[in-house]
Structure 1
Amino acid sequence: VLATKSTMRAIITFTLFCVLYITVQAKTSSPKVQVYSHFPGEYGKENTLICHVSGFHPPDITIDLLKNGEVLPNTQQTDLAFEKGWQFHLTKSVSFKPERGEEYSCKVRHMSNTNNYSWGECNFYKPNVSQDALFTQMSLQLP
């Protein structure tokens, strides 16, 4: 029984040492944030607002999706996942129907820093620009 207690202490000590070592080796990294919608934005059309946060460490993070500064209900969040180098990523989404004059954003709190990232007019479908015109505009930009 004494050898078992000694072995358990050694295992626990080793495990704590490993956790401490990994924590010290992992560098603090600020999150990279992308706010986008599943489909191009159209007023009055059902869509999904998505906030993807990646490349952060430590995993102490909170993500809120906002409409006009108020937290949206019924959001879905993925499980926290990590990449090589102990950097993490997380995605939060919600169904929404954008209307003219509304503001949508993603509020990210990582450690003691809080930032808002907007989803806006640049995400909207422009029906007056045809695919041919868009292709022509892109072609003219080529060297």
Structure 2
Amino acid sequence: MRILLCLAALTAVCFAQDAKHTPPKVQVYSRNPGEYGKENVLICHVSGFHPPDITIQLLKDGVELPGARQTDLAFKQDWRFHLTKNVDFTPVNGDKFVCKVTHGDKTNDYVWEPNM
């Protein structure tokens, strides 16, 4: 039933005449304050975008981190979508962690700031 509702919603969005392209808002953060050598969870929350054609990648030094989990695509009444992707990680000084978001034909990188 849930899959049917999602497919119906996506179909409605695809054929809506007033649907327009809205770029995503992206937040990259960790579950706990960043601390080198301590296990944590890297989170990338992407919201407010339309249409729903989007790809989220969590990268360490340009390489996709294995084992990432992503929520189901969800939307609000205004047909703006949101997704969250997260992965366990242990930051080390000098590593660069990025959330890479591709929406339509645009790709942007959003860097995790450890605030250490």
Report the alpha carbon displacement of residue 110 of structure 1 after superposing the two structures with TM.
0.1
CA 1:21–1:115 in 2, change beyond 3 Å: closer, same or farther? closer
Report the alpha carbon displacement of residue 27 of structure 1 after superposing the two structures with TM.
1.8
Equivalent residue for 2:20?
27
Cα distance in 2 for partners of 1:112, 1:71 equals 20
Cα distance in 2 for partners of 1:21, 1:102 equals 40
Work out which of the residue numbers 57, 60, 63 in structure 2 matches 1:64: 57
- TM-score, normalised to structure 2, is 0.86
Mapped contact 1:26–1:85 kept (Cα < 8 A): no
CA RMSD of aligned residues (A): 1.9
Equivalent residue for 1:105?
98
Comparing 23-32 and 91-100, the one that deviates more: 23-32
Cα distance in 1 for partners of 2:67, 2:114 equals 24
Aligned-pair identity (%): 58
Cα distance in 2 for partners of 1:20, 1:66 equals 30
Question: What letter corresponds to residue 59 of structure 2 in structure 1?
Answer: L
CA 1:21–1:32 in 2, change beyond 3 Å: closer, same or farther? closer
Report the alpha carbon displacement of residue 19 of structure 1 after superposing the two structures with TM.
3.6
1:64-91 C-alpha deviation (Å, 9 max, x unpaired): 0000011110000000000121000000
Equivalent residue for 1:119?
112
Which residues of 2 match residues 22-61 of structure 1 at below 5 A? 23-61=16-54
* More helix per residue: 1
Report the alpha carbon displacement of residue 22 of structure 1 after superposing the two structures with TM.
5.2
Higher relative contact order (CA 8 A, sep 6+): 2
Cα distance in 2 for partners of 1:38, 1:99 equals 16
Task: Give every structure 1 segment of 4 or more consecutive aligned residues whose post-TM-superposition deviation is greater than 4 Å.
Answer: none
Equivalent residue for 2:74?
81
Question: What letter corresponds to residue 44 of structure 2 in structure 1?
Answer: C
1:26-54 C-alpha deviation (Å, 9 max, x unpaired): 22100000000000000000100000000
In structure 1, the gaps of 5 or more residues are 1-14, 125-143
* More strand per residue: 2
Report the alpha carbon displacement of residue 21 of structure 1 after superposing the two structures with TM.
8.6
Mapped contact 1:43–1:98 kept (Cα < 8 A): yes
